[in-house]
Chain A
Amino acid sequence: MLSRRGVVALAASALLLGACGTSGDGEGAQPGASTGSEKVTFEFWNLATAEPLKGFWANLIKEYQTAHPNVTIKNIAIENDSYKPKLATLTQSGKAPDLYSTWGGGVLKQHIEAGLVKDLSSDAGDVIGALTPAALSAYQFDGKTYGLPTDIGMVGFWYNKALFEKAGITAPPATWTEYLDAVKKLKADGTVPIALAGKAKWPGHYYWAYLAMRVAGLDALKQAGTTNDFTGPDFVAAGQRLKELVDLQPFQKGFQGADYSTPDGQAATMGNGKAAMELMGQWAPSVQADAGKGLGDDLGFFTFPAVEGGKGAAGDAFGGGGGLALGVDAPPAALDFLKFALRPENHSKAVKAGAVLPVLKAGEEAAVTDPHIKTVSETLSAASGFQLYLDQEYPPAVGQEVNDVVAELIGGTKTPEEVVQAITETAKSESE
């Protein structure tokens, strides 16, 4: 009665391994694909289920197919949360889609290690040089490039200027002490200082990650990622700083059950003016307006404050974007289409629509019309260093563990010490 499907889903997908593993190889290989008039069909898995990106890709596909009548692109758009399990089911069968959305980092690395992803280092050499290093870094491993970015952004505090003013906060806080003061002032004023989606877990990990970057520094964080040891005192200190914030009870009522983009979620709480700020990526303004009313001119952006005595630079940015990778058996036309999408005139269309931030070195900043996106874009290009989302950078087991234990720290069931121990334990056992 209670879904047996759910229960055997795992086992069933394991069964698919046997079913598809053998037949997949022959099917995927399409020798001599776009040599001219020969018919080529490839699948394009993407996350563009909402405007403006949905229309952007649809138009681009239409244009490309008109120019190359022999190519048929199957546009398969999948909603964000079901994308990951769906992709996982396919990769378990030993296949990757011809062209597919990826956030790079640990998940892409697992695909690469399983030999599912095409190395683009030489085939896309002409495009790689034109892309910004921060945007590219998530897709590069051991000096090779396995994916091309189509979007890049960063996380920072989005705040409600009117509520800040009402609480008597004149300037956005630049240090952690100032930040905690601002939270106290907002609370004293009867305003909910911070909106947080506790159920979704990933928004909470932004706090710990940024604090780790500010306290321990970017290099130490990168180092910990390779040695799998997060037990250093600086990482514990990062958790303690977060604990200071949590102890002020700055989040909206019921935040532990709140999701991100649902009607009562983090974005809606922020967009309806019921909380003064949220720590979120470049998409925050559009989701606020979508899930709630949106703040319009009252919305402002400031970078994560510096922590006194910390080793990290205040200019280091934390974020990520989105990119596309190619399955190892993808026809050449798939790469050609990806290059087509990254042509300056096409990429700037997506930028102009306010959907993505420029990934190309030159020219596109001018195309940014949205003032919020412009702020993020300018802050990002001035950043002194860059760190990919931890739940993307690390293998999925480690990334989810970070999200999970930081959520428990925020929920009050784990101490800063237990957080670093749990992350270290998972990271060590994953790398064995």
Chain B
Amino acid sequence: MKTATTATTTGPGARPAPRAGKPATRRGRGRNGPRRGRGWVTAILFVLPALVLFTLLVLAPILVAGYTSLFKWNGIGPPDDFVGLDNFTRLFQSDIFAGDLRNGAILIVLGLAVQLPLSLGLAVMLNQRIRGRAFYRLLFFAPYMLSEAITGVLFSLILSPEAGLANQLLVSWGLEPWSWLSEPDTVMFSLFLVITWKYFGFHMIIYLAGLQGIPRELSEAARIDGAGSWAVFRHVTLPLLGPTVRVSAFLSIIGTIQLFDLVWILTGGGPSHASETMAVSMFEYGFKRSQIGYSSAISVVMFLISLVFALGYQRFVLRRDLEGASTTMGDRR
């Protein structure tokens, strides 16, 4: 027990660990040298199935969507009415699409400002020795295990105006029933409530995992130096949790950009497009209006936004974390 913890103490603290691994790596490479050719064949054989699936199910659809986004096409028969970038100009002039972007931004900001801190707080609490800790962890993680469709149906019943549980409770407490999903001004907050219910447990588990990688000795040392609980959290726990927080924020943002199922089932994007997201617009135009070309354009823009964001985030935000993780690559240089 004691030796194990000292080993991890030096791990994230400084760089000596990778240096110690260096000779081992070199020896390994030397031994593998002559068998390199056969190794490649084996590697390709192992990668091939995944590569074929990836090409077929990810790469090809992206390319096809990019192609069809240049056509005015109702999805029946081959696309033959080439319109260039018309679908995109129409998209950028559309109030509905501007609303989609705004709604996405609202959810991202709320997610980062409310949902993630909430998850972090719970994770910190559940990282302490309290009674029934495992039970609470399981309980809070449970919503994440439900599918989005089930969550959507569940909450459309709970938030239903008359018979719904939420309003029944409000009435029994002597309060006015609330229009959860039918007021354009507040529907986004109801939606955010459901999203938070569904995903806070997921982020909590990520944070818990991160917290457990932080050695207790560090906070003990800080306490001996006279730091209070908040100071320990602020100056020891949070900085060491940095990589975890950055990954969780990344997942939260990417997930929000692609949000579909919950919105579709709860509000259908309404009332009057007040809760519509990009993915909902895409489905609406593609499958209900048969404007496959235009909805392909929406999917292309969505893809580009995700791609630019993901690359930018990796380049600027995750850079330090990735460097730490790929020290062996650095050695090969």
**Cβ 8 A contact of A400, one of B162, B182, B282, B288:** B288
CA distance A107 to B75 in the complex (A): 12
Given A116-B76, A199-B267, A6:B61 Cβ within 8 A: no
**CB of A15 within 8 A of chain B?**
yes
**Cβ 8 A contact of A88, one of B75, B182, B187, B267:** B75
- Chain A residues, CB < 8 A from B259: 2
- Chain B residues, CB < 8 A from A9: 283
The A-contacting residues of B in range 273-315, CB under 8 angstroms, are 273, 279, 282-292, 295-296, 299, 302
- Asked whether, in the complex, the Cβ of B76 is within 8 Å of the Cβ of A6, the reply is no
- Chain A residues, CB < 8 A from B285: 397
- Asked whether, in the complex, the Cβ of A263 is within 8 Å of the Cβ of B163, the reply is yes
**CB of A171 within 8 A of chain B?**
no
- Asked whether, in the complex, the Cβ of A114 is within 8 Å of the Cβ of B77, the reply is yes
- Asked whether, in the complex, the Cβ of B283 is within 8 Å of the Cβ of A6, the reply is yes
The residue in chain B whose Cβ has the minimal distance to the Cβ of A2 is: B255
- Asked whether, in the complex, the Cβ of B179 is within 8 Å of the Cβ of A254, the reply is yes
Indicate with 1 or 0, residue by residue over B107-129, a CB within 8 angstroms of chain A CB atoms: 00000000000000000000000
- Asked whether, in the complex, the Cβ of B156 is within 8 Å of the Cβ of A115, the reply is no
The B-contacting residues of A in range 308-349, CB under 8 angstroms, are none
- Chain A residues, CB < 8 A from B287: 84-85, 88
Interface residues on B, range: 35 or more
CA distance A9 to B291 in the complex (A): 14
The B-contacting residues of A in range 1-33, CB under 8 angstroms, are 1-4, 6-12, 14-15, 17-18
Indicate with 1 or 0, residue by residue over A172-198, a CB within 8 angstroms of chain B CB atoms: 000000000000000000000000001
The residue in chain B whose Cβ has the minimal distance to the Cβ of A409 is: B272
- Asked whether, in the complex, the Cβ of A254 is within 8 Å of the Cβ of B288, the reply is no
**CB of A374 within 8 A of chain B?**
no
**Cβ 8 A contact of A11, one of B64, B202, B270, B291:** B64
- Asked whether, in the complex, the Cβ of B61 is within 8 Å of the Cβ of A91, the reply is no
**Cβ 8 A contact of A3, one of B65, B164, B260, B299:** B260
The residue in chain B whose Cβ has the minimal distance to the Cβ of A4 is: B258
- Chain B residues, CB < 8 A from A296: none
CA distance A20 to B20 in the complex (A): 56
**Cβ 8 A contact of B260, one of A2, A107, A253, A397:** A2
**CB of A243 within 8 A of chain B?**
no
**CB of B58 within 8 A of chain A?**
yes
Q: Which of B65, B164, B251 has the most CB of A within 10 A?
A: B65
Given A253-B179, A254-B182, A262-B160, A6:B279 Cβ within 8 A: yes
CA distance A16 to B200 in the complex (A): 36
Number of A-B contacts (CB under 8 A): 171
- Asked whether, in the complex, the Cβ of A10 is within 8 Å of the Cβ of B65, the reply is yes
Q: Which of B273, B283, B289 has the most CB of A within 10 A?
A: B289
- Chain B residues, CB < 8 A from A11: 61-62, 64-65, 296, 299
The residue in chain A whose Cβ has the minimal distance to the Cβ of B295 is: A10
CA distance A198 to B56 in the complex (A): 40
CA distance A15 to B260 in the complex (A): 21
**CB of A149 within 8 A of chain B?**
no
CA distance A257 to B296 in the complex (A): 28
Indicate with 1 or 0, residue by residue over A398-410, a CB within 8 angstroms of chain B CB atoms: 0011000001100
**CB of A290 within 8 A of chain B?**
no
**CB of A255 within 8 A of chain B?**
yes
Q: How far is the CB of B288 from chain A (nearest CB, A)?
A: 5
- Chain B residues, CB < 8 A from A10: 61, 65, 282-283, 286, 292, 295-296, 299
**CB of B57 within 8 A of chain A?**
yes
**CB of A411 within 8 A of chain B?**
yes
**Cβ 8 A contact of B290, one of A6, A94, A396, A411:** A396
Sample of 11 more A-B contacts, CB < 8 Å, known A7-B302, A10-B286, A257-B180: A2-B259, A6-B283, A10-B61, A10-B295, A88-B75, A110-B290, A253-B161, A254-B182, A256-B272, A396-B289, A407-B270
Ordered by A's residue number, 30 sampled pairs between the chains whose C-beta atoms are within 8 Å are: A2-B148, A2-B259, A3-B260, A6-B258, A6-B261, A6-B264, A8-B58, A11-B64, A15-B57, A18-B64, A84-B287, A88-B75, A88-B287, A91-B76, A113-B76, A199-B268, A253-B177, A254-B162, A256-B272, A257-B179, A257-B181, A263-B160, A263-B163, A264-B160, A264-B164, A269-B162, A400-B284, A401-B289, A407-B270, A408-B273
Residues of A within 8 A of B (CB): 1-4, 6-12, 14-15, 17-18, 84-85, 88, 91-92, 94, 107, 110-111, 113-116, 198-201, 252-259, 262-264, 269, 274, 395-397, 400-401, 407-408, 411, 413-414, 432
Report, nearest first, the 3 A-B pairs whose CB atoms are least far apart. Answer: A11-B61, A254-B161, A257-B182
